[in-house]
Amino acid sequence: MSVQLHDRFGRSFPYLRLSLLEACNFRCSYCLPEGFRATAGRPRPLDAEEIRRLLAGFAHLGLRKLRYTGGEPSLRRDLPELIRIAAATPGIERVALTTNGTRLPERVAVWRTAGLTHLNVSVDALERERFATITGHDRLPEILEGIEQALTLGYAAIKLNAVLLRGLNDDQLPQWFDYLRERRVSVRFIELMQTGDNLAYFQRHHLRAESLEALLMARGWRLLPRAADAGPAREYQHADYAGRIGIIAPYSKDFCAGCNRLRVTSLGDLRLCLFGNVGIPLRPLLQCDTQLPQLVATLGGQMSLKQLGHRLDAGETGLTPNLSTIGG
């Protein structure tokens, strides 16, 4: 019987996002516009054994849903093994992956067999040229083909992430409507977030989601009641469409009230918030199985430091230079 992690505000944390590496093969203009550059002497990411121990510790504290992210997690050759480790951890019911989708055509069936249950693919535009401009890579057709494959494999949910960018992809709604008519996927429009590296870009391209939501409602989309264990998305559905549309608006009031997630970086640092200023290293506690009680006690002890919400409105982006370092 596991105990639950709780903070001072009565929130519990059954959800962990673990970054598997910092490296990424894309150059998204809002995240890594110059591409990933390895830093000499930087430690290697957590290995499979360290990850197994980390998950065992969190599972002891009520972890039910794990998301692997990055960087680009599919660049790790041992990803199928990491999925199997997560799926075999008692207590973990959902194993999710956030990916840019470049490896979907050759890997998506392998991941499913290994135990992946939920898939999020980043698709910032449905027009090939726009996509290439935003991500730095002309690879939309193969990514869309990979999503078609995924749709046949029995994933519990497939979601597509699109960061809302003023002047770059804010006119793509008609294409998304066409895409969603027959496909049982949910597209998530995410408001661009300011990070340590992207202030000028943020000021140019940030767009609040309210105008988009007004447009959706005018077109007959209806806001669904929020499920008890739902994430922060406001989800819309329409009788004429198989797919759904979610809005993730981190700048909206009360966005953090339902926070149910913790994060661990690829080097094993705990982050209590995507935009927080604190994060202790867990790696020293992941070196042998007998350290489990110490890991569990440390995680429990950190909860008192979790703040009520981020301070993005005040321009405080915390320790995060860009989301590739911690995982979006």
Give contact residues for ligand SAM (rule: CB under 6 A).
24, 30-31, 69-70, 72, 98-100, 122, 161, 163, 190, 192-193, 195, 198, 323-324, 327-328
CA distances from residue 47 to 57, 91, 291, 295 in whole angstroms, order as listed: 16, 21, 16, 17
Output the smallest distance, CB 40 to ligand SAM, in A.
23
DSSP 18: E
Output the smallest distance, CB 127 to ligand SAM, in A.
17
- Whats the size of the chain, residue-wise? 328
Between helix 140-151 and helix 128-135 the angle, nearest 10°, is: 100
Output the smallest distance, CB 2 to ligand SAM, in A.
28
Output the smallest distance, CB 123 to ligand SAM, in A.
9
Neighbour tally for 52: CB within 10 Å: 19
Closest residue to ligand SAM using C-beta atoms: 328
SS3 breakdown of the chain: % helix, strand, coil, rounded to 5? 35, 15, 50
The continuous run of DSSP H or E covering 234 comes out as strand 234-237
Strands 244-248 and 234-237, sheet pairing: antiparallel
317 touches 196 (CB < 8 A): yes
Place of tokens 């911690």: 326
Of 14, 6, 96, 18, nearest to 269 by C-alpha is: 18
CA distances from residue 315 to 196, 207, 307, 312 in whole angstroms, order as listed: 9, 16, 16, 5
Strands 261-264 and 15-19, sheet pairing: parallel
| Residue number with CB closer to ligand SAM (114 or 160) | 160
- Classify residue 141 as exposed, middle or buried by CB count within 10 Å of its CB (0-12, 13-18, 19+): exposed
| Residue number with CB closer to ligand SAM (56 or 164) | 164
| Residue number with CB closer to ligand SAM (74 or 302) | 74
Output the smallest distance, CB 278 to ligand SAM, in A.
21
| Residue number with CB closer to ligand SAM (61 or 165) | 165
Output the smallest distance, CB 21 to ligand SAM, in A.
10
Output the smallest distance, CB 212 to ligand SAM, in A.
15
| Residue number with CB closer to ligand SAM (32 or 92) | 32
Contacts of 95 (CB under 8 A, 6+ apart): 66, 68, 83, 86, 87, 115, 116, 117, 118
| Residue number with CB closer to ligand SAM (89 or 99) | 99
Output the smallest distance, CB 290 to ligand SAM, in A.
33
